[in-house]
């Protein structure tokens, strides 16, 4: 047996530079710590980076998804389609409105919503009358598709947008894993009606907690800006005097200047972060290529993988050990792992509330039984890499 690491290696850690710490310190010294000039700067620079006309910073990607659905007028009479393989946030924001979440299965290779799984869901669970697409179960009108880019591999956006156009649906991309991913020579952030990014601690760049919405629709962007801060018609930073008006019943979803200051520096450093993650992922692929019963992630055939995660699948019929045992053995060696994701239909709330049947999602179930995410983050050292590789080879070679 290999000697365990002296310290625990998490599956992900943020990389915070001294420049980022100093930028945050300057904001703290300035006296303006809530939404203000630094948020504006972060929004502008992020928009320039991905090529988006409108960018709105919020305090989480969950808030961003919620605001996008609110902007299109989702109600309790409606439904939206998303992937069975995603974090709960993508489905729960649909539930905020009392609307119905409809789940697609995923492809067996990348575990994404595909044009095929989307069309299969529409033909099997929906009804089209030539004008409106409705749920066969509830009769609710379907208003949106929420595709999820998983681990850094991108969904086929051209095909999904074509299907959305056919059925008069909005497309709201969950891009929590997709910065800085590229799909067919165009950055994620400029495809759908809305794209929502996450800046959580483990993401490609972080603001601690935070998110960004991009859209090409100015009227939707203006509404989201109002709704992220109580429905007030003027930001505090730009308010000429004490007077303001509440024109909608909004939310408290604004990003702070403290978080944005971290984001401004992280954005400048993001290419270096991506290069290091890509280097580690490619090294893993080379070193693990001879392991039997292990399905490795592939480069994005349609663009540039963000390498947010390094997800593998273990076939227990071929591999030396199963996924759960592998996770336990790696933990014994002080190496952390995670699972992305427990399918939505497996969670008690969704089972009870919507009666999802796991038989409808065979590929998602197979993924759930076999998938594991190994350590992958820009701050990993060569020794960290070697520890993961050596432990995997010992356990699976």
| Whole-number Cα distances in Å, 186 to 50, 183, 190 | 9, 5, 7
Q: Which of 266, 255, 289 is closest to 60 using CA atoms?
A: 255
Q: Which of 45, 49, 21 is closest to 258 using CA atoms?
A: 21
What is the longest distance spanned by two Cα atoms in the chain? 70
**Axis crossing angle, helix 61-71 with helix 218-227, rounded to the nearest 10:** 120
Is the Cβ–Cβ distance between 391 and 335 less than 8 Å? yes
Alpha-carbon distance 140 to 203, whole Å? 35
Among 125, 203, 252, 382, which one carries the catalytic annotation?
203
Residue with tokens 């992020």: 46
What tokens appear for 98 in the block?
A: 């009392």
Q: Which of 284, 281, 248 is closest to 389 using CA atoms?
A: 284
Q: For 102, list phi and psi in degrees, rounded to 5.
A: -115, 130
| Catalytic site includes residue 165 | no
| Cα-to-chain-centroid distance, residue 135 | 26
Q: Cis before residue 180, ω within 30 degrees of 0?
A: yes
What tokens appear for 382 in the block?
A: 């060569």
Is the Cβ–Cβ distance between 74 and 143 less than 8 Å? yes
Q: Cis before residue 276, ω within 30 degrees of 0?
A: no
| Residues marked as catalytic | 203
């Amino acid at each position: 047996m290999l000697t365990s690491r002296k310290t625990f290696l998490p599956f992900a850690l943020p990389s915070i530079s001294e420049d980022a710490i100093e930028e945050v310190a300057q904001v703290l010294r300035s006296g303006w710590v809530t939404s203000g000039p630094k948020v504006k700067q972060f929004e502008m620079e992020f928009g320039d980076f991905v090529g988006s006309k409108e960018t709105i910073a919020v305090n989480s990607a969950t808030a961003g998804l919620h605001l996008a659905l609110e902007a299109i007028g989702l109600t309790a009479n409606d439904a939206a389609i998303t992937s069975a393989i995603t974090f709960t946030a993508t489905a729960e924001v649909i539930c905020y409105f009392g609307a119905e979440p409809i789940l697609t299965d995923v492809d067996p290779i990348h575990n994404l919503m595909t044009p095929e799984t989307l069309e299969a869901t529409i033909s099997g669970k929906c009804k089209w009358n030539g004008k409106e697409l409705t749920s066969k179960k509830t009769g609710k009108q379907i208003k949106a598709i929420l595709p999820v880019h998983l681990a850094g591999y991108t969904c086929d956006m051209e095909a999904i947008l074509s299907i959305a156009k056919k059925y008069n649906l909005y497309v709201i991309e969950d891009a929590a894993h997709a910065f800085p991913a590229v799909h067919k020579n165009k950055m994620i952030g400029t495809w759908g009606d809305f794209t929502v990014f996450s800046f959580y601690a483990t993401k490609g760049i972080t603001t601690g907690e935070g998110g960004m919405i991009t859209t090409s629709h100015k009227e939707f962007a203006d509404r989201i800006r109002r709704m992220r801060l109580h429905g007030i018609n003027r930001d505090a930073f730009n308010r000429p005097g004490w007077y303001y008006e509440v024109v909608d019943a909004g939310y408290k979803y604004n990003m702070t200047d403290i978080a944005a200051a971290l984001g401004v520096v992280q954005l400048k450093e993001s290419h270096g972060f991506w290069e290091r993650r890509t280097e580690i992922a490619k090294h893993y692929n080379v070193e693990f290529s001879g392991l039997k019963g292990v399905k490795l992630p592939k480069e994005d055939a349609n663009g540039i993988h963000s390498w947010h995660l390094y997800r593998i699948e273990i076939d227990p019929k071929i591999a030396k050990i199963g996924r759960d045992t592998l996770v336990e053995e790696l933990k014994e060696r002080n190496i952390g792992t995670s699972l992305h994701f427990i399918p939505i239909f497996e969670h008690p709330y969704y089972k009870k509330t919507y009666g999802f049947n796991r038989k409808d999602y065979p590929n998602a179930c197979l993924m759930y039984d076999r998938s594991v995410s190994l350590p992958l983050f820009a701050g990993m050292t060569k020794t960290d890499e070697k520890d993961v590789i050596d432990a995997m080879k010992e356990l699976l070679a």
